[in-house]
Homo-oligomer: A and B are copies of this chain.
Amino acid sequence: MSLIVQKFGGSSVADAESIKRVAKRIVDTRKAGNEVVVAVSAMGDSTDELLDLAHQVTPIPAPRELDMLLTAGERISMALLAMAIKSMGYDARSFTGSQAGMITDAQHGAARIVDVTPGRIRDALDEGAVAIVAGFQGFNRDTKDITTLGRGGSDTTAVALAAALNADICEIYTDVDGVFTADPRVVPRAHKLDRISSEEMLELAAAGAKVLYIRAVEYARRHGVTLHVRSSFNNNVGTIVYNPDTTSPHVAIPNSSATERTHPNNASANGETVEEPIIAGVAADLSEAKITVVGVPDIPGKAAQIFKIVAKTNANVDMIVQNVSAASTGLTDISFTLPKSEGQQVLTALTNEQANVGFAGLQYDDQIGKLALVGAGMRTNTGVSAKLFEALFEAGINIEMISTSEIRISVVTRADTINQALRVVHTAFGLDSTNDAVVHGGTGR
C-alpha cells in the first residue's frame, strides 16, 4: 500500500462540480489501494474575495485577524470535498492546519513551518479514511494563534505532510500537464519534461517558472520528497521532480515507463548520450527592474557600503554586475536587479545616502526581461554559454547583464525581446518538440 499526498489548487475546486470531479479522482486513488492525504486550497477566487472584504473594512487589516479571515477559505473547500467523498461511499475527514499539526512560527501572513505533527492524519488513515487537510494554514504553539504560510502555501502544506508522513509521492495537480522546457504559451514547441531534478526545478522556479512555488521545491529537496506535477484534467503522467541525493527506499515513482526524460534532438545535437541531458529548460521573468548606481568611486568597500543600504530595505536583490572601472576617471557603475515592487524604496534609501557613498547618480529601468537557462548537465559541458550568446546574437537580441551559477545562466535583455529570446534559445538547445504543446489555459497554477 502506498501513501500518496495530493494537492489541488483553487482552480481545481472552483465550484461544486469541480469539487465532485476532484472527489472522484481522490476516490479512484483510494480504490487503487492507496492511502490518500489531500491538501486543498480555497475555492477559485475566494481568497481574493475575502481580501477585498478585509480592505473594505480597513486599509491595513491586522495580520492576526487577516489570517483568521483567510483560513475560512480552505475550511469551506475542505469540508465540501470531504462531504463529496463521503457521498461516494468512502470515508473522509477534513482537518484544519492546526488539527493536522502544521506548527509554524508566529509570523502572520508568511509563517514558516517549524514542526509537523500529523497524529490525527495518521489516525484517520489507519481507520481507512481519506484525510483532507486545509492548505496554506498553520498554528503557532506559543500564541495559540492561526497562521498562514503565504503565497504557494498549499504546495508547501502538501510537501510538508508528505515529508512528515513519509509518503511515497506528493502529487501536485495543476492545469498544465507538468513542467515544460519553457512556458508553452510563449514557446509553442516547448515539451513536457518527464523528469527533472529538484535542483534544476529550483532554478527554474526561481527564474520565473510558475508551475511550482520555489518554497515547496526547497522543502521537498531538503526532506527528500519526490514530487509528481500533473494535470487535474487528465490521467497522463506528468513530471517527476526527484532528488538525486536521496536514495531513500520510499521514493517510488508510480509509472516507471514514464520516468525517462526524452529530449527529441538532444543526443544528436551534442553528439553524445548523457545520463542527464544538458538543459532542463528555459524560463523568463518580467517582474524585475534594474537599478544602476552610476559613478561609484572605485575604491575598496564601496560595493559593501551600497549593498548594506539596500539590505536595510529588505529588498530581494537578484543579479549584481559591476563594470570594469574606467582607468581615466577612477569611477565604476554597479547594476543590480530586484522585484519592481521593491524599486522605489531602494531608490529612496540610496538617494538618502548619496553624499555618504559619493556616487554620481541612479538609473532605474523597469523594462528589462530576464532569461535563465537551467540544466545540471552544463556543469560538465563546455560551450553552453557560448551557444546561448550566439543564439541571442543571431536573433539580434542585446545582452545587458550576465550571471551564472553551476547549473544556470541568466541574461538580462530588453523586456520586449524576452519572448523571442525564449524561442530562439529553446530551439538552439534542441528542446523543440515536433508537436505544439496543449495548453489548458490559466497561469500554470
Interfacial residues, chain A to chain B (CB-CB below 8 A): 15-16, 19-20, 50, 53-54, 56-62, 64-66, 68-69, 71-73, 75-76, 78-80, 82-84, 86-87, 92-94, 99, 120, 144
Contacts and interface: CB of A to CB of B under 8 A. Distances in A.
A104 to B, nearest CB: 16
A356 B94 CA distance: 48
Given A84-B57, A99-B144, A93 B76 contact: no
Contacts of A66: 79, 83
Given A53-B16, A65-B94, A83 B71 contact: no
A60 to B, nearest CB: 7
Nearest to A68: B79
Contact of A62 (B54, B62, B73, B83): B83
Nearest to A99: B144
Contacts of A80: 53-54, 57, 65, 69
Nearest to A88: B58
Which 4 A-B pairs give the minimum distances between C-beta atoms?
A16-B56, A58-B87, A69-B79, A68-B79
A260 B41 CA distance: 55
Contacts of A68: 75, 78-79, 82, 94
Q: How many copies does the complex hold?
A: 2
Contacts of A58: 83-84, 86-87
B86 A62 contact: yes
Nearest to A75: B72
Nearest to A17: B56
Contacts of A78: 68
Nearest to A95: B68
Contact of A83 (B19, B57, B75, B94): B57
Contacts of A20: 57
Contacts of A69: 75-76, 79-80, 83
